[in-house]
Amino acid sequence: MPRISLLPTVAREIFLREHQPRVPEPMVMDEPDQVAAFAEAGRIDGIMSASYLFQSARISQTLSKCKHVLDLGCGPATQLAQIAQLNPNITFTGLDLSEDMLESGREYISANHIDNVRLQTGDITNLEDFSDQSVDGIISTMVLHQLPELHLLESTFNEITRILKPEGALYLVDFGRLKSPKSCHFFSHLNADHQPTVFTDDYQASLHAAFLFKEYQQLTKDILPSHISVFGSFPIPMLTIVKSPDQQLSNQTRQQLFNMRQNLPQHYRKELDDIRFFMWLGGMKNDPFKKF
């Protein structure tokens, strides 16, 4: 997750550059060194902890009325595990094409004694195992850029619309494409000294592979239910969130989120607050971390 606190510093340069061509990523991360490095660097107490907590809080706020939720592209299930722990009354199904990722996720879920998650192989562009209007909620975190072509993102949106119950909960988050290779390199290497090289390389490739913010806006308008909105970090939509309206969080969950933020190391807490701030500027109100 980029340190969004640095956005104003490079905003002028990025806005003045033209968009670069999209460089797609493979749909499946199945090289053993990639899987191991991704899982190791991305576990819950590592460099991604601020991003994980932000997404877990916002997702919990979106899903609070759900019973069964599908996670599209769950990977090693780090994010999913935290969400599941915050929402013990919801049953989660994690879907991924990579068997190695799923095996890593199963080990992690078992080690953390999480009993409301199951993982299975599946293609997010073709959810044939799920019948029409069969799930209360759908989530996806930092996965959609791995789709090689825009028409596959369109297929994923069509499948979401098909299997989601009327007025169901939806939360999709991914990178928005930056305007220059130099910017992609800058953000991907911010923590290069503290993470495996393969993780940094994957992060840079992900930024190059991201879809445009306007593409998410158009597909949401054309395909997704009318209660779904699109938000981007301000002033640069390098983080894009497609979601249904917020629901009421219980006081217990809000207190838990408040405490989790307080327990972050100071530099990660600052990073979390930066993400909160720039997404708030992008229109995402109802901050779940506010003390009540």
CATH of the domain at 262: 3.40.50.150
Is 242 a domain residue?
Answer: yes
Segment 179-222, tens digit of pLDDT: 656 554 445 445 656 666 656 556 656 667 789 999 999 999 99
Q: Where are the beta strands (DSSP E) in 142-232?
A: 164-175, 229-232
Count up the domains in the chain and report the number: 1
Is 29 a domain residue?
Answer: yes
Is 76 a domain residue?
Answer: yes
Is 28 a domain residue?
Answer: yes
Whole-prediction pTM: 0.83
DSSP three-state, residue 32: helix
Is 187 a domain residue?
Answer: yes
Is 36 a domain residue?
Answer: yes
Q: Please give the full DSSP string across 41-84, using - where no structure is assigned.
A: HTSTTSTTHHHHHHHHHHHHHHHTT-SEEEEET-TTSHHHHHHH
Is 54 a domain residue?
Answer: yes
Q: What are the two backbone dihedrals, phi and then psi, of residue 205, each rounded to the nearest 5 degrees?
A: -60, -35
DSSP state of 4: G
Answer whether residue 283 shows pLDDT above 50. yes
Pairing of strands 239-243, 164-175: antiparallel
Is 291 a domain residue?
Answer: no
Host domain of residue 42:
4-281
> What's the mean pLDDT in 267-272?
94
Of 242, 192, 250, 187, give the one whose Cα is nearest residue 217.
242
Query: From the centroid of its chain, how far is CA 4?
Result: 15
Average pLDDT for the chain: 85
